[in-house]
Amino acid sequence: MTEQKTNQQWGGRFTEATDAFVERFTASVSFDRRLYNHDINGSLAHAKMLAKVGVLNAEELEQIESGLEQIRSDIQSGNFNWSVQLEDVHMNIESALTAKIGITGKKLHTGRSRNDQVATDIRLYLRDEIDLIAAELTRLQEGLIFVAEREADTIMPGFTHLQTAQPVTFGHHLLAWSEMLSRDYSRLLDCRKRVNQSPLGAAALAGTTYPIDRAYSAELLGFEAPTENSLDSVSDRDFAIEFSAFSALLMTHLSRFSEELVLWTSAQFNFIDLPDRFCTGSSIMPQKKNPDVPELVRGKSGRVTGHLISLLTLMKSQPLAYNKDNQEDKEPLFDTVDTIKDCLKAYADMIPAITAKKESMREAARRGFSTATDLADYLVRAGMPFRDAHEVVGKSVAYGIDTGKDLSDMTLEELQQFSDTIEQDVFEVLTLEGSVAARDHIGGTAPRQVRAAAQRAKQLLASR
């Protein structure tokens, strides 16, 4: 039998209680309670604004402020009773406030709705999380730059199609990762600008008849400005989608890093070593050291991309203004935040601890004729058309495959059988060191350029 009572916060129009299953089905307090701090901050600002415009008197404001701070303390100490019957974080806090301070607590909701309240809470929450994520992004980049400087002279093969292409330095490779993260950081800050707008005061959808001061409450909460349109204010979730798009691209980058780390730690590559604390073993094969952290980060990229698709799908058919569908925005958003914070922490802790296996990297760079392009460039500088040089080098490589010799291992006489343009100085460009040193321009892999790029990157981080 259904209990004959209604939710006291909104139940005046109803003649029977909400079905128990529907009550649980529609409640969000199990996951939106994490917004409590932001909900209380938003309520404090709203109360101050109501007092400023004369809706609340000084005594009522003091009661509300004191009550809300007591509730905050109760929640933080674990002494707060969350109720599914009260649906969400907002109703739970408002009900507790009324229980503490009486009828004055019921005045807090004057001039606002749960629609603008939740939109405000999510923006406050996401703004704080963005700042934390930005700091972790910076910490990860600092680690990459540290290792890049340390390994500016360490030669490894560069790949295209996962085939040996040209020699590069390990430091140069790591700075490529840092460049990806710099773009991510820029996108994150750009997103923050659109998050930092206050919907408070838009009420349910049309604004309010009370003489509110939206600019004042926005200022109290550190928002850049109030949002412009009340309909859009309560129904907009673009900022959450934009954050999720940033997150999906960030995780795509981390997944690419992970793929390389997994390859590099394998016996077949043997380029790097990860500390034991970032790896696990096998339950049956005692020799195994598995790169679980990179593998798991790689896997979590699909999770975050899925949340982006969920939010896009959630919003694609919604008419203005607020709809209950929007309750489904929180779980994918919260999980996205949690996932990328964990992944960034793992990487920021792990990257500085990477050990490069320099001899293995160098030996791999010697295989696959990685200086073939250098030989072609040498011939072009001597006056040979590039296409002809390309053919000469191709024949040289074919000879090397037949004889098991790298270009740098061939004698001058062996090379000259393909072109008499080749002279003794060719060996200056056929060495791995000569090859990377020759790329001595901005964006190039020469050790001098890697160190200069690392300095510029550090300066950029210092300016954030």
193 touches 121 (CB < 8 A):
no
Q: Which of 288, 406, 293, 274 is nearest to 342 (CA)?
A: 293
Has 172 been annotated as catalytic?
Answer: no
Q: Which of 161, 317, 441, 463 is catalytic?
A: 161
The first and second tokens of residue 263, run together, are 């390859």
- CA distance to 42, 78, 102, 128, 402, per residue, from 68 (Å): 11, 15, 13, 20, 81
Q: What is the enclosing helix (H) or strand (E) of 169?
A: strand 163-169
For the stretch 387-421, what's the b/e string if a residue is b when 16 or more beta carbons lie within 10 angstroms of its beta carbon? eebbebbeebbebbeeeeebbbebeeebbeebbeb
Q: Which of 113, 182, 282, 441 is catalytic?
A: 282
Q: Which of 33, 42, 193 is nearest to 111 (CA)?
A: 42
Has 83 been annotated as catalytic?
Answer: no
- CA distance to 70, 72, 227, 286, 410, per residue, from 51 (Å): 20, 21, 22, 69, 87
Catalytic positions, please?
161, 282
